[in-house]
Amino acid sequence: ANNSGSNKHLTEFLDEMRSDQIREHLRKFTRLPHLAGTEQNLKYAEQIKKEWQEFGLDSVEMVPYDVLLSYPNKTQPNYISIVDHLGNEVFNTSLAEPVPEGYEGVSNIVPPYSAFSAKGQPEGDLVYVNYGRTEDFFQLEREMKINVTGKIVIVRYGKIFRGNKVKNAMLAGAKGIIMFSDPADYWATGVQVDPYPDGWNLPGGGAQRGNVLNLNGAGDPLTPGYPAKEYTYRFDLVEGVGLPKIPVHPIGFHDAIRLLEKVRMNIHTNNQVTRIYNVIGRIRGSLEPDRYVILGGHRDAWVFGGIDPMSGAAVVHETVRSAGRLLSKGWRPRRTIIFASWDAEEFGLLGSTEWAEDNAKLLQERAVAYINADSAIEGMYTLRVDCTPSLHTLVYDITKQVTSPEEGEEGVSLYESWHKRDNWTNDRNAPRISKLGSGSDFEAYFIRLGIASGRARYTKNKKTEKYSSYPVYHSVYETFEIVDKFYDASFKRLRAVAQVRGALIFHLACSELLPLDVMEYADSLRKYAQSIAQLAQRHQDEMETYMVSFDSLFSAGENFTVAAKGFHERLQTVNRLRVMNDQLMYLERAFIDPLGLPGRPFYRHVIFAPSSHNKYAGESFPGIYDALFDIENSADPEKSWDEVKRQISIAAFTVHAAAMTLTPPA
């Protein structure tokens, strides 16, 4: 038998992870700006490669791709002007954020900009559209009868992914869009929090960088579906996936309050094909080298990346260090572990998606699970986990073994601490776990390839802290110091996150029987089916008129439950470990439809997809959901209900097909 997955080794692995080490990793990799495609980000890649080798990984390689990135023009800055009736610029927004103390001499701080914005200098009336959500535009057009065609819109950041705001503005006919950080959304309230550097709130001169693509999982806009290698065919820019057709620009709230009803945008940002670098490290599995467990997170940052992503990268670094120590003592995991430092996540998950495209065949046949390692902290309250249902049980088991990092909770498990702070729902007495949406590098692995995936980080109190993400998100104020002083002075929270992420990959790589729970998937499927059917009940009359029924989906869910139960029972008397492990591994794959979702060919998971209205949110049964959403705006209800029926049929089939994979193979 194989004792590489023993509790003794797990304990050693987790105990070896040290707060001071995580602090040191974070300090080391946040001294200089390291935007994707820059010299400094390559230097950090080389340093990570070297250190992973020293830590003892079996192999570490740099994997380059040539992808479309976007940078401000160095000689022609981007800004917004108020123009008078003669066309003179009487006010201009700031060209950069005030640099934080201690970083005054640093060069290569990219000013706030919207990556992949169209170039242009549109001039026109300014219309405020709240958060720029679908419903905000509907309200403007339907209730307030305001047409934004030919106008420039200004929206608040928050609630939804900024790319969705830009898409909505384009659909509404706007010729430019300005996004600003409203203190209502980027200031913590309740307790008194000062702006950085005295606290962790966003200064009035700070602004949020970010890409404004609508890629829907395509990766590099010029090479959708294929890795961006040297020989790869590239589409022309005009055919590129998800590129906005209008100028876009982000500003801080000091500038926002100055803008009047008529403005000119001055945007000179350039798209350019640029080389990026993933770092890929491996530990070869002893018994199942062709089964892969992946821990991946990005390295590129808008500026210093104090929180996003280096709080996560430091955790990965410490995980590699600890695994290396175990290796040096003779331990080896049953399965292969792959560690990834992704590049260009900020430009549309490019590094991780290109590598997934490059390795799709291997991953499809061999990948057991993908654990994401972006920012490890976004608040100071408790744990946050988003994952596939089959990982629920493992997450609970693991958090019972890890200690709470909170002061005064010595001897309390992370599970208990988390449960106390964020109980799932009224109908389940357990800590809340959410669906995966998108917005980080798990996307291609989960939504395109159907690999069981999860993520874990420390978060804020969602009930009382109403700001979006965290105040200084994507600003120059994301420094090492903001973590060291405010978010996690003891680095115990980051250590707890490291232990959760580490224990996940340890169990997935070392357990004889894969720790994936098919009964949890069955429960979730039935719950999602109920919930989407309930949504449809809003239109009960029409459902009768057009004879729409969810019975086939309910029946598929019941059938899946029967298959899952049978499978679960056979596990007790398992004598064909490989066969059953393959069934467990391939269950998630069974939800993949190669035809993809309507209009989103790279979103192929029938059960989960990022919401069409907000990339960050996960939607269950997204095909049905989107078809139902269209009902309310449809000129041809019969046709729209037909699409609902088609999507129900695809969902029912997919759940049946997945159930088949759990029955005895012959």
Residues lying near a second copy in the complex (CB under 8 A) are found at 58, 225-227, 229, 231-233, 282, 284-285, 289-290, 292, 336, 358-362, 365-366, 552, 576, 578-579, 582-583, 586, 589-590, 593-595, 601, 604, 642, 645-646, 648-650, 652-653, 657-658, 660-661, 664-666
User: Residue 605 catalytic?
Assistant: yes
User: Residue 101 catalytic?
Assistant: no
Shortest distance, position 286 Cβ to a second copy, whole Å: 10
- Annotated catalytic residue within 249, 268, 474, 605: 605
Helix (H) or strand (E) holding 353: helix 350-358
Nearer to a second copy, 57 or 402 (CB): 57
Residue 323 contacts residue 13 (beta carbons within 8 Å):
yes
Shortest distance, position 53 Cβ to a second copy, whole Å: 16
In 10 A of CB 335, how many CB atoms? 28
Query: Maximum distance among all alpha carbons in the chain?
Result: 84
Nearer to a second copy, 442 or 550 (CB): 550
- Annotated catalytic residue within 549, 551, 632, 638: 549
Residues in the chain: 666
- Annotated catalytic residue within 136, 182, 288, 345: 345
Nearer to a second copy, 196 or 641 (CB): 641
Tokens 């965290």 belong to residue:
470
Q: Is the dihedral of CA 419, 420, 422, 424 positive or negative?
A: positive
200/556 Cα distance (integer angstroms):
49
Nearer to a second copy, 74 or 361 (CB): 361
User: Residue 182 catalytic?
Assistant: no
Which tokens belong to 210? 């970010």
Shortest distance, position 268 Cβ to a second copy, whole Å: 29
Nearer to a second copy, 77 or 289 (CB): 289
Distance of CA 527 to the CA centre of its chain: 24
Write the single-letter amino acid at 158: G
Nearer to a second copy, 409 or 582 (CB): 582
Distances (CA, A) of 570 to 2, 515, 659: 22, 15, 15
Helix/strand/coil for 456: strand
Residue 399 contacts residue 382 (beta carbons within 8 Å):
no
Nearest one of 223, 217, 250 to 111, comparing CA atoms: 250
User: Residue 582 catalytic?
Assistant: yes
Shortest distance, position 579 Cβ to a second copy, whole Å: 5
Bridge partners (DSSP) listed for residue 336: 292
Torsion, Cα 436 441 444 445, to 10 degrees, reads: -70
Nearer to a second copy, 184 or 577 (CB): 577
Nearest one of 631, 658, 634, 659 to 645, comparing CA atoms: 631
Shortest distance, position 590 Cβ to a second copy, whole Å: 4
Shortest distance, position 59 Cβ to a second copy, whole Å: 9
Distance of CA 462 to the CA centre of its chain: 18
Shortest distance, position 653 Cβ to a second copy, whole Å: 5
Shortest distance, position 633 Cβ to a second copy, whole Å: 22
Look at strands 123-128 and 262-266 and give their pairing.
antiparallel
Q: Where are the alpha helices (DSSP H) in 377-517?
A: 392-401, 414-421, 443, 480-481, 492-510
Nearer to a second copy, 128 or 653 (CB): 653
Helix (H) or strand (E) holding 441: none
141/139 Cα distance (integer angstroms):
6
> Which residues neighbour 568 within 8 Å (Cβ) at sequence distance 6 or greater?
518, 519
Which tokens belong to 299? 């390295």
- Annotated catalytic residue within 123, 542, 558, 582: 582
Residues serving a catalytic function are 345, 549, 582, 605
